[in-house]
Structure formats: structure tokens, C-alpha cells
A and B are shown apart, each in its own frame.
Chain A
């Protein structure tokens, strides 16, 4: 079969299909590669840089979620160097906005928090930015807290690719980037939002949450959204 390829992951040969990403091949082979912005059946964007891997013969680290696997490729998914860079990426996320786990609705149910624990982030070596961020409580059922947003854009993608409403987008550049709804109107004033809540369920942190949930109470349930995304054929 012409579309079958063989990839070496951490020294082990793994059979794969042409077109699969390194992340898909590695996960199929039982390898752990950390991710935050990636979500099964949504289009990958390579934004969080946690899934970086080493590829033999390539001088830079590549995001596994957006890099296609190629026949004969040799990939290292875990090394001291990768762990250092992944921790650094997480520390940048923590220092960029106001992530106060203790008073967060998603405390103990947060992907950012659990990833930091898993990768051994015990402290943040960079100065906190303490930006003054808004909380958009204008929606009847949901709330957007920019303090807790890591700009993974899962909300943007799930709304466009699964719900088809395209409420969310990213405004600004770099550290000034911000998730916005309907060309930067308050979420409650959005004409396009269907209030389906998919964005809330896939948000990895407490940035998007249901109203009325106290600290530690917001548990995300993204399984149905991922299944729905898979039925639609995933990427658009």
C-alpha cells in the first residue's frame, strides 16, 4: 500500500498512514506527548507549543500536532531538553495572565493545572505580568474570564467547525491578543451565539464557565463535543 509509512518514535518502528501527524502516530503507539490547544477532531493549530518533539536531521523543535509524519522519520517525544522547553512554555502561560488556581471555578478540574503538575512545574521563573483583564459576565448562562484564558483557540475552532456559528475570534497581536465575540461586542449582545455551550465544555481552563458554579465546581464535559466533531469529519 503506497499510503503506508514507517516512522521511528523514540527508537521504536511504528506503522502509520500517510497524512497522519506525528502526534496521531505517537499516541496510536501509546506515547505520551503533552498538549493543551489540541483537541481530538478539531483542526490543530500548534499554538501552545507543548507538543514539540525532536526530529532527526531537523535543527529546530517541531509541534507534533501540525507536523505530518513522513516515511523513515525518526522522532524523539520525550527528553530532558523537551521537558525543559515544555515547562518553560507552561511558565510563560502562567506568567502572562492572572491564573489564581485557589479561587478558580475550575480548580482541580483544569487542564493547564494538571499539565503543570504532570510536567513538574513547581514554580514560575518569570515575573508575572498581572495584566488588568476584563470579565465578560454579559451572557445569560456563561461567563468569560480573560484572566484565565491561555489563547488555545479551542473555543474559536469548536464554534466554527462544529457549531458553525463562528462567534469567537482572536483580536490583537502577541501578548495583547484577546478572544472576542462578534467583532468585539459583549458576549451577551452576540447575535450569532446559539448558547450551545460547546466553547465552555472544551475550554481547558476556567476562562469559559457556566454561571453559578462556585470555586472548584466547574467540571468540563468535552467527550460529546469531541464525538460530534468526529462525526462531522473534523477539520474544515
Chain B
């Protein structure tokens, strides 16, 4: 038995390494994705007043703090037993769309586009966003502009681009001004044009990646995502749906408070990342995926015209349920189009400027669950408090965690297809990392841990000896 270690995996959010075990013939016997950090948010917040939780848990992530703010604020709403005012909810949805746009732009343009546009086998020294700027400045500019648009919109709404304190228990703490609305509206047409053009460019590239599409985690799994009862995707207020690999409904309209009836969590011996599973099927049989691809598989429709048109094309091309993890990129771009369309719809509603945006209450329930769709998938915050509002217990299930079983399986699939022999080829190494990247994992979120982002691959022989070790 020999072992290859990829450490660190780069261009992901968080720390990880991959071990690949080879048998005596040099074929892949097993793989393991290790998430190598721990942060302890669930523990150190014990004793804090519950209404501080949105801002504290937002610090889990610098890319999707809005997701944590929203899930946490919804859990706080449940503890206070209040429904935020209609405009408060709309503003939360609006900032959520802005965050989806900037996060998806980050994932596609900054992290994955170097693989897709420069090639998996291109020079690793140039296979990054700077290489992309040199090789394809127009695409790089589109990425920067789309991310800037999303971040600008977040700033216009929430006063700060990262770790805003605008989203609070009960709603948001300030209404939207007409000037801020107009500032966002002014940037929307340009952002929509860029997103549409990028999606078309990506559709044209797909034929180049036939082998990757076939082997990038294409095994069928269950899928989970949030939709309204009619089946329309609802990132903010949807109910949890589980579908089987054939698209049949397994669990319909599960409210946030009942998440534990369908989701169990298994701890892994060699990773700080827990592995959630669909409880009725047990562990590890209940493996499922979340995120852009899972959402498109679960939802009947997205609910905005242009995105639904693109979804129809996607389904026509690849079928009603798409298993290939490579298509996370495709799904992400369709969602980018949807986010921008939805922002336009929300901003067109005159009620968006209403000044009643926050409900106030003390502790009315001792337990609350908040559930939303983060850019990377379903995010659940579950808090228990004492009667004075001090946090007693916390459980966070973060998007990347749901995908951990599937990511591991995808890594194995890619390694089995692309890795042969004791010597690591750079292209093989990059494909193993790239399949992890397709999921756009946020490992710092999923372990609620701190640190920078890296991934490492190790090649381990049959005798357990590390034959080769490389950083991606």
C-alpha cells in the first residue's frame, strides 16, 4: 500500500488535505479528504445573550457572513417567537441575493475559472486569478465587476461589505433609503449582462470537458434544498426537501424546527468535518448533496424568467436530475443569473422602502432553529437558551458539511480515473483538487474553524510509506 498526500488543497475556502492510497499494482485503493482545522464556535458562545449570535457567528466566514447572519437571525426570531415585518424580510432576501451573486462570482471566476479557462494541465504557476487576468482579461474583468457589484449592493444595504451588524434578531436595524436603492438599481443591468455573457461562454466550453464531466463525482446521491411548497426555489424562506437520485420526493416541506428528523450527523475519525446524512437511510447510506446543483435538482423552477429559461436548457441537455459534480459550476452560473433577476424584482416593489423593518421581543421560546440556503447549500443554526436569553447549547450544520460524504466519494472517483502509478502527475493532482473546488467548499465554515486556505495530496504505498507529497 502506498500513499499520496495533497497538502494543502488550494483555491478553496479553508484547510484540507487529501490522502490517496495505492495498492501494490499502483491503482487507487482508497482516498480520504481530511479537514484539518477546528474552531469551537458551538462551545465558546455558550453563556452569550442569544441576540449577539448573528454577529458572532457571522465571524465564521468572511465570504458568506450574510448567510450566517440570516440563519442566526432566523433562529433568534424563533426564540423571540416573532415574525419580522414584511419589508424586513424583503430586505433580508435582497442582501441574501447580493451575497449569492458575489459569492458565486468569487467561486467561479477567482477559484475555478483558472482550471476551466486555462486548462487543468496548464502551468500551475500561472493557473490562478493573475494568470487568468493575463490570458483572458475580459473574463477576469467580468469576475471582478460581478463580485464588486454584489459587494457594493451589500454595502448599500448593510453599511458594511463584510461582517455587517445590520441583520439583527427581529429583522434589520435600518430601512433602505431611496438613494441606496437607486445605487443598486444603477449597477444591475451591467451585472446582468455580464452574468448572461459568462453563462453563454461557459456553455460553449462544456464540450472541452467531456472526460471531467463523466468522472467528476458523477455517482447518484440524494439531493437536499429549500423550496416553497409549490416547488419554487426559495433561498431565504423555503422548506427543506429531499429527493432521491431519480428525482422522487423523499421528504417534503420539512420545516426548520424538524430538521433533526431527516438529518443525522456522524463524526469522522480522521477529519474535523462532521458528515451529515439523511436519517431515514442511516449512515453512510443516507449520503446527499446540497448547493447549486442540488438546488436545481430539487426545485421545480427558480421563479425568475431568464434563470428558468436557462434551467430548462440545462435540463434539456443533461436530464431532469443531474449527478455530475462538474455541473456545480453550471448550476452556480444559472443561480447567479437568478440572484440578479430576483434583486431587480425585490427592488421594483415600492414596499421595499417601508420603514417598519424590525420586530422587538424578549425570550418567548427556549429553542430556535434558523435555516436558509447559503451559496454552498443548506445552512442550519439551532440554539437553546435559558429563560433569560443566555445561550445554553448550539448546533450549526453548515453547507459544506452536508457535502462531505459526496466530496470524499468524488475525490475517490477522480483519483481512480486519473491517478495511475507511484509518480504524481501534476494534471492528476490538479483534477483531484478541482473536484473539491467544484463543490466550492467552505471548510472554515464547516468546521467553524480558523485559518487560511490550503490543500495537500499524499501518495501512500501498500506498506503505509508516504511515497510522495505535494501541495496543490
From A134, A213, A216, contact of B47 by CB (8 A):
A134
Interface string of A115-151 (1 = CB under 8 A from B): 0000000000000000000110111100100000000
Does A2 reach chain B (CB closer than 8 Å)?
no
- Set of chain A residues within 8 Å of B169, measured between Cβ atoms: 212, 214
CA A217 to CA B389, docked complex, whole Å: 18
Q: How far is the CB of A108 from chain B (nearest CB, A)?
A: 9
Does B360 reach chain A (CB closer than 8 Å)?
yes
Take A103-B56, A188-B388 as given contacts and tell me if A215 and B165 are in contact as well, using a CB distance cutoff of 8 Å. yes
- Set of chain B residues within 8 Å of A217, measured between Cβ atoms: 165, 168, 173
- Set of chain A residues within 8 Å of B141, measured between Cβ atoms: none
Does A110 reach chain B (CB closer than 8 Å)?
no
Within 8 A of B (CB), among A92-107: 102-103, 105, 107
Take A135-B390, A217-B168 as given contacts and tell me if A212 and B51 are in contact as well, using a CB distance cutoff of 8 Å. yes
From A102, A107, A139, A214, contact of B51 by CB (8 A):
A214
Does A211 reach chain B (CB closer than 8 Å)?
yes
Interface string of B255-284 (1 = CB under 8 A from A): 000000000000000000000000000000
Query: Do B52 and A105 have beta carbons less than 8 Å apart?
Result: yes
Does B305 reach chain A (CB closer than 8 Å)?
no
- Set of chain A residues within 8 Å of B52, measured between Cβ atoms: 103, 105, 214-215
Q: How many residues of A are counted as interface, with CB atoms below 8 angstroms from the partner's CB atoms?
A: 19
- Set of chain B residues within 8 Å of A138, measured between Cβ atoms: 388
Query: Do A135 and B47 have beta carbons less than 8 Å apart?
Result: yes
Query: Do A143 and B49 have beta carbons less than 8 Å apart?
Result: yes
Take A102-B163, A137-B389, A188-B388 as given contacts and tell me if A213 and B51 are in contact as well, using a CB distance cutoff of 8 Å. yes
Q: How far is the CB of B266 from chain A (nearest CB, A)?
A: 31
- Set of chain A residues within 8 Å of B163, measured between Cβ atoms: 102
Does B55 reach chain A (CB closer than 8 Å)?
yes
Query: Do B59 and A102 have beta carbons less than 8 Å apart?
Result: yes
Q: How many residues of B are counted as interface, with CB atoms below 8 angstroms from the partner's CB atoms?
A: 20
Take A102-B163, A135-B49, A217-B165 as given contacts and tell me if A211 and B389 are in contact as well, using a CB distance cutoff of 8 Å. yes
Q: How far is the CB of A65 from chain B (nearest CB, A)?
A: 33
Does B25 reach chain A (CB closer than 8 Å)?
no
- Set of chain A residues within 8 Å of B362, measured between Cβ atoms: 211-212
Does B48 reach chain A (CB closer than 8 Å)?
yes
For A139, A143, A188, which residue has the most chain B Cβ atoms within 10 angstroms?
Answer: A143
Interface string of A186-228 (1 = CB under 8 A from B): 0010000000000000000000000111111100000000000
- Set of chain A residues within 8 Å of B49, measured between Cβ atoms: 135, 137, 143, 211
Select from chain B the residue with minimum beta-carbon distance to A134. B47
Interface string of B41-72 (1 = CB under 8 A from A): 00000011101101110010000000000000
- Set of chain A residues within 8 Å of B173, measured between Cβ atoms: 214, 217
CA A216 to CA B51, docked complex, whole Å: 12
Q: How far is the CB of A102 from chain B (nearest CB, A)?
A: 7
- Set of chain B residues within 8 Å of A215, measured between Cβ atoms: 52, 54-56, 165
Query: Do B390 and A137 have beta carbons less than 8 Å apart?
Result: yes
Select from chain A the residue with minimum beta-carbon distance to B54. A214
- Set of chain B residues within 8 Å of A212, measured between Cβ atoms: 51, 169, 360, 362
Within 8 A of B (CB), among A60-112: 102-103, 105, 107
Taking A103-B55, A214-B165 as known contacts, 18 extra A-B pairs with beta carbons closer than 8 A to each other, sorted by chain A number, are A102-B55, A103-B52, A107-B165, A134-B47, A135-B48, A137-B386, A137-B388, A212-B360, A212-B362, A214-B51, A214-B168, A214-B169, A214-B173, A215-B52, A215-B54, A215-B55, A216-B55, A217-B173
Query: Which 7 A-B pairs rank lowest in CB-CB distance, beginning with the nearest?
Result: A215-B55, A214-B168, A215-B165, A137-B390, A216-B165, A137-B388, A103-B56
Instruction: Provide a sorted-by-A list of 6 A–B residue pairs whose CB atoms are within 8 angstroms.
Output: A102-B59, A102-B163, A135-B48, A135-B49, A137-B47, A137-B388
- Using a CB–CB cutoff of 8 Å, the interface residues on chain B facing chain A are 47-49, 51-52, 54-56, 59, 163, 165, 168-169, 173, 360, 362, 386, 388-390
- Using a CB–CB cutoff of 8 Å, the interface residues on chain A facing chain B are 102-103, 105, 107, 134-135, 137-140, 143, 188, 211-217
